[in-house]
Amino acid sequence: MKNLSQILLIDDEADNREALSLLLGQAGYRVQTASSGEEGLEILQENPFEVVISDLFLPGVSGIEILKKVKEDSPFTNVILITGHASAETAVEAMKEGAFDYITKPFNFDQLKILVEKALEKSRLVSENLYLRQQLRGKYKFANIIGHGLAMQAVFSRLEKIVNTDSTILILGESGTGKELVAKAVHFNSPRREKPFVAINCGAIPAELLESELFGHVRGSFTGAVSDKPGKFELANRGTIFLDEIATMPMHLQMKLLRVLQEQEIERVGGSRRIQLNVRVISATNADLEKRVRQGQFRDDLYYRLNVIPIVLPPLRDRREDIPLLARHFLQKSCKDMKRPLMALSREAMGALENYQWPGNVREMENVIERTVALTDGESIGMHDLPPNIDLSDTAGSEPTLDAPLPETGINLPEMVGDIERRMIAQALDLSGGVKAKAAVLLGLNRTTLVEKIKRLGMAGD
């Protein structure tokens, strides 16, 4: 048997019903039969079916009535209608009511078998898509955004108030605070949840390509435009578009985005046709947009359009009460992903995590826990298992400090300064993913100076 798909066959002619049932059974399907529309509807109330095959013209309840009832009660069940009196009118009506297809008598059984296979494939794809959407909705429930402290409770309260609106949202927060996670939570808990969620990082795309990515282009509009291409706004139609790092958008595109927000329509690059859209816009930035407006780097009219409902995500250092919850969550996740028994965090290790400043916020914590789980051999995580930079976090201040008094015997200051430099550089490189230019910014140095220090401190091979 190649499959065990359940099919309901409804036909008032016994010979046809028995022959089709036998052939479908030999093809590997489980078939249940009904000799009338009324009997078929009774069976449908008791059992689910992936495919219903019904004669169109039945005494009493017709095939069209069966089709309507199936689509009302089980929209993902596909209906194939069989008729010996096909006409354009009946075909149009059947398809209009949602029939998967219809086939006319006399027909070759192979034709019907191909239709059944296609109907089953469609049914499975729809079921898988529905399952994935349900998984996404579960994954992005507000309850899954971890935070029991007052700061995050204020965020949740605002999110619950706006989730059923179409208002434009601006999410503000440092890198790693979870801005895209919040945007997805808004979308997947809103009436638009069945429609697309399309994200684009405005800072990751060169300025000369960003316009085409956002609004699409027509063939021949520029070198390499070999065909028409829809942009992210079109792909997000009836759903949500998430514009991350909105502060990096060039001024000339800010004007075009403002027009899109005002008119709810776009024009592709090189085109003249206006395309009407219905898109909810959620944008995010880690920059001070008000400051950029004052400096003339961001349009004030666009800022007001985007900032209808602001959501401010607090940095992790301002919600320390959530650090144990997050640490245990990421520990459980990492152990599960790596197929390891759940590890424990020692009291000292947890204390270090709570005291650390987390400049990379929640994203940094997730990476630290994942790396620690991967590199720790035992069943628990102690202080010695954490990255070296976490050991330096014995203060809740905003800057690293040295509070220990100078001993009477003195110290080796160059050696101590070198050690501090080495550890700070290692931490900056860790946070920046090894990108020296970014690490230099974190340390307040230019890249050349950082490279020279790395060589002088013997870290070139690190």
Measured on CA atoms in the order 54, 56, 62, 67, is the torsion positive or negative? positive
Written as six digits, the tokens of 386 are 């954490």
- CB contact at 8 A, 11 and 17: yes
Distance, in Å, from the CA atom of 58 to the CA atom of 60, rounded to the nearest integer, reads 6
Residue 297: Cβ within 10 Å count: 14
Q: What is the pLDDT of residue 135?
A: 53
Strand pairing of 169-172 and 101-104?
unpaired
Q: What is the pLDDT of residue 215?
A: 93
Among 302, 304, 281, CA closest to 186? 281
Please give the span between the terminal C-alpha atoms of the chain, in angstroms, as a whole number: 59
Phi, psi of 276 (to 5 degrees): -75, 140
* Whole-prediction pTM: 0.60
- CB contact at 8 A, 8 and 32: yes
Written as six digits, the tokens of 13 are 């002619």
Instruction: Output 152-157 pairs: Cβ under 8 A, ≥24 positions apart.
Output: 152/314, 152/319, 152/322, 155/182, 155/311, 155/312, 155/313, 155/314
Residue by residue, DSSP assigns 341-357 as PPPEE-HHHHHHHHHS-
Distance, in Å, from the CA atom of 273 to the CA atom of 119, rounded to the nearest integer, reads 37
**Beta bridge partner(s), residue 54:** 10, 81
Distance, in Å, from the CA atom of 331 to the CA atom of 335, rounded to the nearest integer, reads 6
Q: Which residues, including other chains, have CB under 8 Å from residue 57's CB and lie 6 or more apart?
A: 63, 83, 84, 85
| Residue linked to tokens 């020692």 | 346
Sketch out the chain's domains with CATH numbers. Answer: 6-135 (3.40.50.2300), 155-314 (3.40.50.300), 318-397 (1.10.8.60), 402-462 (1.10.10.60)
Among 431, 170, 442, CA closest to 285? 170
Measured on CA atoms in the order 24, 25, 31, 33, is the torsion positive or negative? positive
Q: What is the pLDDT of residue 219?
A: 86
| Residue linked to tokens 């650390």 | 356
- CB contact at 8 A, 293 and 300: yes
Q: Which residues, including other chains, have CB under 8 Å from residue 336's CB and lie 6 or more apart?
A: none
Written as six digits, the tokens of 266 are 């776009």
Q: Which residues, including other chains, have CB under 8 Å from residue 278's CB and lie 6 or more apart?
A: 237, 238, 264
What length is written for the chain? 462
The DSSP H or E segment spanning 227 is: none
Among 348, 438, 420, CA closest to 384? 348
Distance, in Å, from the CA atom of 28 to the CA atom of 10, rounded to the nearest integer, reads 18
Mean pLDDT by 10 residues, the chain (462 residues): 67 88 87 90 85 87 88 84 70 79 80 86 72 56 73 86 93 93 92 92 90 90 83 94 95 94 91 90 95 95 96 92 92 93 92 92 94 92 89 46 60 77 82 80 83 81 46
Measured on CA atoms in the order 122, 124, 129, 134, is the torsion positive or negative? positive
Q: What is the pLDDT of residue 47?
A: 81
**Beta bridge partner(s), residue 172:** 285, 312
Distance, in Å, from the CA atom of 65 to the CA atom of 97, rounded to the nearest integer, reads 10
